[in-house]
């Protein structure tokens, strides 16, 4: 299933790309909710976290590792938040798993 993120991966839609390797792509969010707000997405199309298989464990670790490395590069050493929404009740709007990374402001709890 092709999504907005598939089109970004394929360069059919422009994005402000922060990082890319053979497994993931990271780019700035188009509607940032914090001074630093970017997404890390796998190039492999996986609709939701519910669709992850055991073979995807390494990929998920790579997404998280990339998120923390880029957060540090963006000046978020003092703290940042990572969020992965799953399905409609979890707030997911694009059905291609993705990790939001938000920083450079105080986060509150509960998130909403």
Enumerate the active-site residues: 98
**C-alpha–C-alpha distance, residues 43 and 46, integer Å:** 9
Could you tell me the sign of the dihedral formed by the alpha carbons of 9, 49, 28, 74, in that order?
Answer: negative
**C-alpha–C-alpha distance, residues 64 and 54, integer Å:** 16
Q: Give Cα separations from 6 to 1, 2, 34, 78, 102 (angstroms).
A: 9, 6, 24, 32, 22
């Amino acid at each position: 299933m092709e999504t907005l993120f598939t089109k970004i991966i394929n360069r059919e839609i422009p994005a402000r790309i922060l990082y890319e390797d053979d497994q993931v792509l990271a780019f700035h969010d188009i509607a940032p909710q914090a001074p630093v707000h970017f997404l890390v997405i796998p190039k492999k199309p996986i609709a939701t976290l519910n669709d992850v298989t055991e073979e995807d464990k390494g990929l998920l670790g790579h997404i998280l590792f990339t998120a923390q490395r880029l957060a540090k590069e963006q000046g978020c050493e003092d703290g940042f938040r990572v969020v992965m929404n799953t399905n409609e009740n979890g707030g997911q709007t694009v059905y291609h798993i993705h990790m939001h990374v938000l920083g450079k402001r105080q986060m509150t709890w509960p998130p909403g």
